[in-house]
Amino acid sequence: MKSKSRFLIIALILLVAGSLAGGWASRMKSRAANTPSAEMKDNELVKAFGEGQRLIEDNYAVDRDQETLTRAAILGMLHVLDPHSSFFDRRAFNEMQEEQSSRFYGIGVTINRRNSKTCVLGVVKGMPAERVGLKYGDIIVEIDGKPTKGWSQQEVLNHVRGERGTEVEIAVERVGEPVPLKFRIVRDEVPYPSVRNHFIVRPGMGYIALTNGFNKKTSEELQDAIIELKKQGMTSLILDLRRNPGGLLKQAIEVSELFLPRSIDVVSVRGREGSRARSQVYKSENSDPESMPLVVMINQETASASEIVAGAIQDKDRGIIVGEDSFGKGLVQTVFPLPGGTGLTLTTAKYYTPSGRSIQRDYSGGSMYEYYWARRSAEHSAAPTPTPETNTVYTPTGRKLHGGGGITPDIVVKEGTENVVIRDACFEFARYLAAGMFPNLEGYKVSKFEFGYRLRGNEFVITDEVMAAFRNFLQEHADLGMTEASLATHSDYARRRIRAELITAAYGIEAEDQFLLESDPQAIQAIEAIPKAKQLTSMARLFDTSLDRH
């Protein structure tokens, strides 16, 4: 009973300390706009945690894994506060810090689930996976002698990643090989850039995919991409923030500054009244921002720091927002390093767009599942669902905007639906096609991989002969679950997917993204919105130096 009493006291101390510190934090699904906090190591919260951890170790009767016990106890308490509060064990905390540093330790491979198997989709140039010969279409069947059947994608990643200089043995099934191939690979530092891709999508029109979060080098990477595209003739830009989970607040401000003139508000951060967190308004300090027409793409996975950027651009009429409502994460986290290499992130403030809009979506009364995973209504309305902080504002040109439920696009376009069964069947077929396994279709064999390739439009055109081979393949592989009727209904989609897979096999995921963008309904609308963006920027007179800015 004495131990239980001590545990309850510890729980109360942690809960109160968390509440005093702001009490809100980030989960990996939707990373926070984080502010690093090395000086927080000696504060009351960390001391309380250390004392609680020692009491548990000294008094708990059952032999249990310390980290598991600690994580379960703290998460239970933090979730009382809000859905973003979280505790990170050593692995998760280390991975978060690595990603914010724009690197991690692994082998440099892109994997995904296809047909309930873990498949290699690509490798990073110069990284260990490329050096030993892993390639598109390989199926990972063992890691360090352990079968991967039934493993999730995250479980595979956890085993592939590790300390720099350590070895991992990976066995793969490869088309044309009678037995699995085994590779011993030494882990190394792998880059994790924020800017995943950039290219000219139309004459004079650039496209930049800023989709991998906001880390310490994000604004630098974005500037480099802009410079390179301007050398290729870019005069307007589509910035893709879809599926960007957020990251560092400072980087969100610096990215916004690239497009907003000096003295223009970017974001305001407000701590709770009476708390230690300071309230502050961040303004652009850029005296020479980019003035080209700008369109920003967002979707329901655009969160936190990326919403800061989209909100600033929209509030100041700097560009047109295209896509779907963003996630709705308006919280700023402070990172608390804890004993044993673990960590805690707590919300110490909320952020607001320049016009004073709160982006945070309502989470009162709902479950964690509903908040993170349940999709909102497919029907979009002109205003978000009312929340405690719903407010209506007007932009400098008189456009009406709403707050309290994420960023609502200026032009709403639903994402195209991906048919997973057809996609996976096309992947399996493309593995054999790229390996040259079909008579009379040897021209589709991928003999070598080419990094940095930019599509010309004539690569791997899918003929009727290829589709006939695909039909026969489906008949021989009924386990793929794709019927003749389904192929007849989705023939165009299947052609596009087979071609995309071959492009991936030959030129990489970046080239595949470039190809698929041509049939992306949101991207098509973004391209068409460039003239509107130009007109909007002109009306807003953001770059008129004769105006007094506030």
Closest listed residue to residue 498, CA positions, set 465, 527, 451, 542: 465
Contacts of 312 (CB under 8 A, 6+ apart): 256, 260, 265, 266, 267, 318, 353, 354
Annotated catalytic residue: which of 138, 188, 265, 315?
315
| Long-range contacts formed by 66-73: CB under 8 A, 24+ apart | 66/340, 67/340, 67/342, 70/342, 73/7, 73/11
How far does CA 521 lie from the centroid of its chain? 20
- The full DSSP string for 281-309 is EEE---SS---S-EEEEE-TT--THHHHH
Q: Would you call 400 exposed, middle or buried from its count of C-beta atoms within 10 A (0-12, 13-18, 19+)? A: exposed
304 an active-site residue? yes
* Beta-carbon contacts of residue 174 (< 8 Å; ≥ 6 apart): 135, 137, 138, 139, 180, 181
Contact 392, 401 (CB under 8 A): yes
User: Which residue stretches of 417-490 are H helix?
Assistant: 420-434, 464-476, 484-489
Q: Comparing C-alpha atoms, which of 123, 124, 122, 129 is closest to residue 143?
A: 129
For 341-491, list the strands marked E by DSSP: 343-352, 391-394, 400-403, 411-412
pTM of the complete model = 0.85
Give the pLDDT score at 332: 83
Residues in the chain with pLDDT < 50? 1-32, 36-42, 375, 377-384, 386, 550
Q: Indicate if 240 belongs to the active site.
A: no
Domains and CATH numbers, the chain: 2-89 (no CATH), 103-191 (2.30.42.10), 195-332+349-416 (3.90.226.10), 420-519 (no CATH)
Q: How far apart are CA 329 and CA 528, in angstroms?
A: 29
At 390 the pLDDT is 61
- CB-based contact 400:315 (threshold 8 Å): no
Both tokens assigned to 81: 């506060």
The alpha helices in 281-419, defined as continuous H runs, are 305-315, 368-372
Q: Please give the Cα distance from 205 to 207 (Å, whole number).
A: 7
pLDDT at 75: 67
How is the chain split among helix, strand and coil, in percent rounded to 5? Answer: 40, 20, 40
The single residue of 250, 283, 329, 534 carrying the catalytic annotation is: 329
166 backbone φψ class: left, alpha, beta (φ>0; ψ -120 to 50): beta
pLDDT at 334: 79
Helix 491-507 to helix 420-434 angle (10° resolution) is 50
- Catalytic pick among 304, 306, 355, 358: 304
Residues present in the chain in total: 550
CA-CA distance, 127 to 365, in Å (whole number)?
47
Look at residues 126, 78, 197, 19 and name the one whose alpha carbon lies nearest to residue 449: 126
What local confidence, expressed as pLDDT, does residue 42 receive?
A: 44
Work out the angle between the directed axes of helices 464-476 and 420-434 (0-180°, nearest 10). 110
Q: 200 pairs with which residues across the strands?
A: 206
520 tagged catalytic: no
Cβ atoms of residues 435 and 425 within 8 Å: no
Helix (H) or strand (E) holding 160: helix 153-160
> Is-contact 188 172, C-beta < 8 A?
no
